[in-house]
Amino acid sequence: MQYAILLYTTMWKKSELMHNATLLFLDQIMDPVSEFKSKSGLKRIYSAFFYSIDGFRSAWKHEHAFRQEMAVFVVGAIIALVLRVSAFEKLVLIGVLMLILIVELINSSIEAVVDRVSLERHPLSKNAKDFGSAAVLLTCLLAAATWAVVLFNRFY
C-alpha cells in the first residue's frame, strides 16, 4: 500500500512537472515576444510616430493606388472646406476620403505580407488580395454615396 501511494505521488509530481512544462511551452508558442516589440511610455509613442511616417513614405513610393487616392483626398478636402455646408458635413466628406486612404494602407499591408510569404500563385493568396481590394472598392462606394447625398441636399 505504501509503495502504491509513493508511486502515485511520484507519478503525480511528474505529471505536474510535465503539465507545467507544457504550459510554459504553450505560453511561448501562443505569446511569443518579438525582438521588435516596442518600448512603453513616451518612447513608444515617439517611435510609433516615426514608424507611421516611414509607412506613409513607403506607401507613397511603392503604391500607385495610394498616390492616386491621396490626390483625390487633397482635392476632395479642399472642395469640402470650400463648400457651403455645415462643419459636420465637411468632417464627414473629408472623413470618408480619409477612410479610403486607411483601407488602402491596410490592403497594401495585406498584399505585402502575402508577397513576403510567397510570390507563387496560390488560391488563398489570391483570396487575401481580392478581399483587400474589395474592401477598398466598398470604401470608395461609401465615399461616393456620402458625397452624393451631401451635395444633393446642398444643391437640390
Helix axes 64-82, 42-62, angle to 10 degrees: 110
Residue of 35, 69, 104, 111 marked active site: 104
Which three cell numbers, joined as nine digits, stand for 38?
516596442
Which three cell numbers, joined as nine digits, stand for 85?
455646408
Alpha-carbon distance 148 to 141, whole Å?
A: 10
In angstroms, the first-to-last Cα distance of the chain is 94
DSSP state of 120: S
- 104 catalytic, yes or no? yes
Question: Burial of 139 by CB count in 10 Å (0-12 exposed, 13-18 middle, 19+ buried)?
Answer: buried
Inter-residue contact 98 to 73 (CB < 8 Å): yes
3-state class of 122 per DSSP? coil
Residues designated as active site? 104
